[in-house]
Amino acid sequence: MDKQERDRLLTAAMNEYGHYLIRLAYAFVKDQTKAEDIVQEVFIRYYIHLEDFEGRSSVKTYLYSITVNECHNYFKSWTYRKTELTNLAGALLVNIQTPEDTLLKNESIHYVAQLIEKLPLKNKEVLWLHYYAELSVKEIAEVLKCSANTVKTRLARGREKARLTMSEEEIEHAREH
């Protein structure tokens, strides 16, 4: 593969997946600048190893996998600090009609993000990949290098742990909205 073809593939991947990878990295590291740095490293690794990519998975899945690994590397090199994930709310709002709807959606997304944030990493990452990155169970399994059944189990346990952290009042509030 010549340099021109590699450059073209890199540019196409950056244009198509760059924004999503930044959102994914941000969901893990909660720092916009660090998320952008991680995604830059992801694309450098992608470019360097383009000829090694065998196409057994999609480019999207391959890039998500590299991003998750880079986030894990970040956590290994720095102390993990809990912060809120409110910046995701703006990116996730769709088809809002009134200011009241905006407020309710913001509150709901923020609340769910806080619940997910409290979970252990292995549950948190599958929930983020499934609900926020919108990956299928199969794609999550490829990204995390585990079986689809493991992903399903972690999703179920993550949902259950999140539910258990909710008070009765919060459950009633969630049912109303």
Domains and CATH numbers, the chain: 1-81 (1.10.1740.10), 85-177 (1.10.10.10)
**b/e sequence 72-87, b meaning 16+ C-beta within 10 Å:** eebeeeeeeeeeebeb
Task: Name the pTM for this structure.
Answer: 0.55
pLDDT in tens, 123-133: 888 888 887 77
- The residue behind tokens 């994914």 is 24
Choose among 112, 121, 122, 54: nearest CA to 86. Answer: 112
Choose among 144, 137, 135, 130: nearest CA to 65. Answer: 144
| Better pLDDT: 101 or 52 | 52
pLDDT in tens, 18-31: 999 999 999 888 88
pLDDT for 105 equals: 59
pLDDT for 59 equals: 92
Angle between helices 59-77 and 32-48 (to 10 degrees): 120
Angle between helices 148-165 and 99-117 (to 10 degrees): 110
| Better pLDDT: 163 or 43 | 43
DSSP code at position 82: -
Cα separation, 75 vs 24, in Å, equals 14
